[in-house]
Amino acid sequence: MANHYYSENPETAHDLHQWSFELAGKNFQFVTDSGVFSRGTVDYGSRVLIEHFEAEDLPAGTLLDVGCGYGPIGLALAHRTQRPVEMIDVNNRAVELAQENAKRNGIEADIHQSNIYETLHQETYAVIISNPPIRAGKKVVHQILIEAEPLLEVGGSLTIVIQKKQGAPSAKSRMEEVFGNAEIVAKDKGYYIIRSIKE
């Protein structure tokens, strides 16, 4: 049975929850369901990523949220940066929830199903962000890092959140290999925010 949040079609029974959470200075209303990641609250890693994300020095253009889940990162950053946002997830249930959450919060975003970067609506992005699906395995996480580089505009950034014990050091090394740079922007309770800039 496909019950993982990184499955295309989770088969767990629906169990809808509605709750609110403040992100980026806005009180968001979320609806979540079984079969999606961290459905009871915005997970700590996502909160740290939102808090430490900086877009001021980046080129104009779209922000791509990879593995968006029910939408907290992409929607919060759409609100804060006022950039166009595209949000993708392999999990159809997560995509439907993210679409619903965008509507509930009055945020426009292009939200659709895609297995990593298979189905994108643009050729390049100013920003790629991800709270990568650690449980899908290192191969998937590193594919997100490696394949981000050709999709970024020059000067654009890839920013991820990953726990030290779940592979932050190896993710940072891989980003350094691919981009020639990788900076730990923040560390908070074992979560690392790592950013690479396309030069």
Tens-digit pLDDT profile for residues 118-139? 999 999 999 999 999 888 889 9
Residue listed under structure tokens 């593995």: 67
- The CB-based long-range contact list for 177-185 (8 Å cut-off, 24+ gap) reads 178/145, 178/146, 178/148, 178/149, 179/149, 185/52, 185/54, 185/159
Residue 177: closest CA among 152, 145, 154, 151: 145
Tens-digit pLDDT profile for residues 21-42? 999 999 999 999 877 778 788 9
pLDDT given for residue 19 in this prediction: 83
For residue 45 the two structure tokens come to: 């890693």
pTM: 0.93
Distance CA 100, CA 197 (A): 32
pLDDT given for residue 16 in this prediction: 84
Distance CA 5, CA 47 (A): 19
Over the Cα atoms of the chain, what is R_g?
15
Distance CA 124, CA 37 (A): 27
Contact between residue 10 and residue 91 where contact means Cβ atoms under 8 Å apart:
yes
For residue 107 the two structure tokens come to: 């945020």
